[in-house]
Structure 1
Amino acid sequence: MQEWIVTIAFILLGLLAGIIGEKVIFTKLRKFVVEKEIPGSEIIFSALHRMTFFWFVLAGFFGAIVYSSLTINEDAKNLLQKIITILFLYTVTLVLARLTAGFVNLFIQRTEGVPASLISNLAKIAVLILGILILLQTVGVQITPIVTTLGVGGLAVGLALQDTLANLFSGFYLIISKQVKTGDYVKLDDGYEGYVTDITWRNTTIKEFKNNIIIVPNSRLASAIFTNYHLPVKAITLTMNIGVGYDSDLEQVERVTVEIAKEVMAEIAPELVEFEPNIRFHTFNDFSIDFKLYMRVHEYFDQRIGTHLLIKKLHKRYQQEGIEIPFPVRDIYVQNKGSESSSLDLN
């Protein structure tokens, strides 16, 4: 009876220690570390979540099994100890996998454009597989036949999962080649366009301006013709077609247009003001002398706001300067029989 009481006492002590450790000590220590802003502390405590309680409980059961040598036979005792060892090693492996994925994510977040999902998940899986193999070796299971079987079975699995593996390796190719990174604005040959938000083991996620999500298989993106508007740099040249009347002073037009373009650049892309905007006249059109305005903006999507501001400011300034933006005019000549022809101006 005394041995049973002590055995139960070990189990209850483990439960109590687990509750105190998780709810009191662990919580207060986490709060203290977070307040001190220690790097990586949140990752560590997230990985250890619930594990403190579980380990104390396992310790209580282990102590109960070791003490209860009279009530449990040796074979059952060894089996229970092996089960507890397996559970402990598995939880340790799980914590290490969480820590690996967390710190990989932390490192990737400091590296611009590198997708986190694919690399962190593969690192986590690698740690789990290695931990399970070590666990099996520890409890006496020979892992050499298992590794051999996995190697032979891997060929069959590879044939069955050709599409999945093609997407996986295509994802690695996209990352290593640096053809596309998270945050890049891309336009596919079939017309889809948006910002790349993530590259997973199977597909690439693209977010449209309308806030829709486009899912593109990695293998398709790797073989597609697409434009990356953030390569080689994010800055892009905005081009705008403008026409002025034939009576306009072209020197004045060039001076005024460049001044307005500089104002817009200072407003939306002040870091690019050293790149002088310029215009190039190119066509004597039917109703106007046409030219192109070239101006640098920070990234692809800034072309919209840049064009918006240019139209507003140029329209206002052209009116002040007396520069005409012509619209089509057609002269119609009507000839009356037996009389002189007359002309009608239709605007």
Structure 2
Amino acid sequence: MTNIDFSELGISPAALAVCVCLLSTGLMLLLKRLILGRLSSVIHRTGYVFDSVLIRALGLPLTLVILVVNIQILKFLFTYWGVDAQSYSQPIALGSKILLILALVAFIDRLCMGMIGGYADRSEGLRNSKSIMQGIARGAILGVGVLVLLGTLGIAITPVIASLGITSLAVALALQPTLENFFSGVQLVMDKPIRVGDFIELDSGEQGFVEKIGWRSTWIKMLPNNVVIMPNSVLSESKIINYYYPEPELSVPVEVGVHYDSDLERVEQITLDVARQVLKDHEWGVTEYNTFVVYHTFDSSSINFTVMLRAKEYFNRFWVKSAFIKALHRRYREEGIVIPYPIRALNTDQEGARFGHSSEPAAD
């Protein structure tokens, strides 16, 4: 190739080198597309998150790497064919470094965004908080990438870092409430005291389903179909009852009273039969729950006890309790078991009282 007569070819060495590099770039890009497409179709059937994200993250970085490789090939051909390219050598080297840094930053960014997005989509608690985590990760990656790029270009980054520190302090002081809500949102996402879809009760008394955990606030949809918007900083410091943690199922106590003349063993057996049948037949009852009865009070007009049922979710407990009360009342009537009315007795003879006679002395 050193004996090529470029005058006979009617083309300059520089132009030929450029054509060779363009052809090489096209072939490499085509090969990259074929290989990644084939790998993507194979990995898509496995169902693994990391493999799919890795293939998608390689697209742009590999294109930049191919450009760097062909720039180096162009530099080699210039030298091999005796093209005077001294004035281009330094820009070519600098451009190659910049492209490699951009390729690395793009790969890490796309990989992190894909991993966060993939796992957030599979987690109900992280789905609506995906943007928070992706924003933090992208900001950190791009920040480090810019500093590395400035260092490659020969720009001193120490004054830049110092200036960023002062600026960040001023911004942090100015945006203190916003940043407090932001980091409280991050804390809610990481600690997971509540998750999207959970039914919670705030210390102020509001109850509802968690609809969204955002950058600044958390949205709670209440049962009357309105929404409470709580700042994350307030929510993170509040006492919260999470009725869906560790699981949505919960016990449903029902208070019952029967007459003093009742056979308590028979009452208990009938009550358990009704409770088990309701849990079995009702769509929101937990069939396998071992329900029980506990007697606890000699009341003024009845002997009181508690029946423990179990519902699949907090909101379903009302319907399970209602169905049980109706079924128990019907069964008690069939069995002749009396649920007494509240009774208050008046003892007119106690302590010498005289009903119907005035205690005032007679007038003269």
Aligned to 1:45: 55
> Normalising by the residue count of structure 1, what TM-score does the alignment of the two structures yield?
0.72
Structure 1 residues 41 and 98: CA distance shift in structure 2, 3 A: same
Instruction: From the superposition, tell whether residues 160 and 15 of structure 1 become closer, same or farther in structure 2 (CA, over 3 Å).
Output: farther
For the 8 Å contact 1:93–1:132, the answer to whether it is kept is no
Q: Is 1:8 the counterpart of 2:19 in the alignment?
A: yes
- What amino acid is aligned across from residue 276 of structure 1 in structure 2? F
Counting only pairs closer than 5 Å after superposition, residues 1-347 of structure 1 correspond to structure 2 as 1-2=11-12, 3-22=14-33, 24-37=34-47, 40-61=50-71, 63-64=73-74, 67=77, 74=86, 78-79=90-91, 81-103=93-115, 117=130, 118-119=132-133, 121-174=135-188, 179-182=193-196, 184-189=198-203, 192-196=206-210, 199-206=213-220, 215-230=229-244, 235-242=249-256, 251-265=265-279, 268-270=285-287, 272-273=289-290, 276-278=292-294, 280=296, 283-284=299-300, 292-323=306-337
- Residue 242 of structure 1 deviates from its aligned partner by 4.7
| Deviation per residue, 1:23-82 (Å, 9 max, x gap) | x21111122233345562112123224443454345445544664578896555533543
CA deviation after TM superposition for structure 1 residue 163, in Å:
1.9
In the alignment, structure 1 segments of 5+ residues that lack a partner are 329-347
**Aligned partner of 2:268: which letter?**
E
Alpha-carbon distance in structure 2 between the residues aligned to 1:213 and 1:221? 15
Structure 1 residues 152-180: Cα deviation after superposition (integer angstroms, max 9, x where no partner): 11111101211221012323444566643
Indicate how the Cα distance of structure 1 residues 144 and 56 shifts in structure 2: closer, same or farther if over 3 A, else same: same
Q: Could you tell which deviates more after superposition, 24-33 or 100-109?
A: 100-109
Partner SS for 1:35: coil
Distance in 1, matches of 2:62 and 2:333, equals 75
User: 2-side partners of 1:299 and 1:130: how far apart?
Assistant: 47
Please give the TM-score of this superposition, normalised by the length of structure 2.
Answer: 0.69
Segments of structure 2 that go 5 or more residues without pairing to the other structure are 1-10, 343-364
**Which whole-Å CA distance do the structure 1 matches of 2:185 and 2:95 have between them?**
39
CA distance in 1, matches of 2:224, 2:63: 46
Contact 1:11–1:61 (CA under 8 A) maintained in structure 2? no
The 3-state SS of whatever aligns with 1:301 is coil
SS in structure 1 at match of 2:218: strand
State the secondary structure of the residue aligned to 2:292: coil
Amino acid at match of 1:236: L
Partner Cα distance (2:223, 2:62) in 1: 45
Quote the offset at 1:97 in angstroms. Answer: 2.5
CA distance in 1, matches of 2:38, 2:269: 67
Aligned length, in residue pairs: 325
Do 2:61 and 2:106's aligned partners in 1 also have CA atoms closer than 8 Å?
Answer: no
Shift of 1:222: 1.9
How far 1:241 moved relative to its partner? 4.4
- Cα distance, 1:155–1:106 mapped onto 2, change above 3 Å: same
- Rounded to whole Å, the distance in 2 between the matches of 1:263 and 1:180 is 34
Q: Which amino acid counterpart does residue 13 of structure 1 have in structure 2?
A: S
**Counterparts in 2 of 1:42 and 1:280: CA distance versus 1, 3 Å:** farther
Asked whether the equivalents of residues 258 and 278 of structure 1 are also in contact (C-alpha less than 8 Å), the reply is no
Structure 2 counterpart SS, 1:240: strand
| Correspondence for 2:350 | none
Task: Say which SS state the counterpart of residue 40 (structure 1) adopts.
Answer: helix
| Cα separation, partners in 2 of 1:282 and 1:264, compared to 1, 3 Å | farther
Question: For the pair shown, which has the larger CA radius of gyration, 1 or 2?
Answer: 2
